[in-house]
Structure 1
Amino acid sequence: MTSDQAIGPGAAPSGAGCSDCDAVGGWWFPLRRCARCGHVGCCDSSPGRHATAHFKATGHPVVRSYEPGEAWFWNYATEELYESGPDLAPPASRPADQPAPGPAGRVPEDWKQNLRR
């Protein structure tokens, strides 16, 4: 997948949602978890694109989906998808009862028009 330095299997997720969106009162669609440090950020379909911003700021290239039932990894540096990878510290996804898009109460009614393509 990548060098051992890109994966930190013991790093717990930073939260149940995108910590950067939470800081500014934003919302997200799918979530991604940094496989190195556990930072949870929103994907590129989300208005904030915080997972990619985290990669650019830190150089941590590998993320894992933070969506229930998904276990794939993406390497930003090589643009490679991996169907599976090493186990990471729990939890493996956002809470199943948390809506997507989320979080509840902050998603605009016209959210579909605000997704990035």
Structure 2
Amino acid sequence: MSCVHLAEAGDAAPATTTDCPDCVAIGNADWVHLRSCLACGHVGCCDSSPYQHATKHFAASGHPVMRSVQPGESWRWCFVDEEIG
């Protein structure tokens, strides 16, 4: 694996929520898929969702790796290197 962020992040179990807390806080229920930050566990909606809270979390926190929260998916994404792992 060429991405040091993915190698260091490990493969923590995904969050078990079915809601994007940031969307719920603004009264939105339009998210598509959820992602979980491997540094702090924050859950946000994907870039196919109107508010893209997972990407906004990266921009605000600098936490580089998130993983899919979708059932049956275990992939991770590094925002810094734009690499999947």
Aligned counterparts of 1:17 and 1:61: Cα–Cα separation in 2: 22
2:15·2:69 contact (CA, 8 Å) conserved in 1? no
Aligned counterparts of 1:23 and 1:75: Cα–Cα separation in 2: 26
Aligned pairs for 1:35-114 within 5 A: 35-82=38-85
Tell me how far 1:25 sits from its aligned partner: 1.1
Aligned counterparts of 2:10 and 2:56: Cα–Cα separation in 1: 18
List gaps (5 residues or longer) in structure 1: 83-117
Q: 1:68 and 1:15, CA in 2 relative to 1: closer, same or farther beyond 3 A?
A: closer
Q: Give aligned-pair identity as a percent.
A: 50
The answer for the alignment partner of 2:24 in structure 1 is 22
Aligned counterparts of 2:75 and 2:62: Cα–Cα separation in 1: 19
Aligned counterparts of 1:20 and 1:64: Cα–Cα separation in 2: 17
The answer for the alignment partner of 1:109 in structure 2 is none
Tell me how far 1:15 sits from its aligned partner: 4.1
1:14·1:40 contact (CA, 8 Å) conserved in 2? no
- Residue by residue over 1:36-83, the C-alpha shift from the partner in whole angstroms, topping out at 9 and shown as x without a partner, is 10011000000010000000000001000000000000000000001x
SS in 1 for 2:77: strand
List gaps (5 residues or longer) in structure 2: none
Q: 1:45 and 1:7, CA in 2 relative to 1: closer, same or farther beyond 3 A?
A: same
| TM norm structure 2 | 0.81
Matched residue count: 80
| Structure (1/2) with the larger helix percentage | 2
The answer for the alignment partner of 1:114 in structure 2 is none
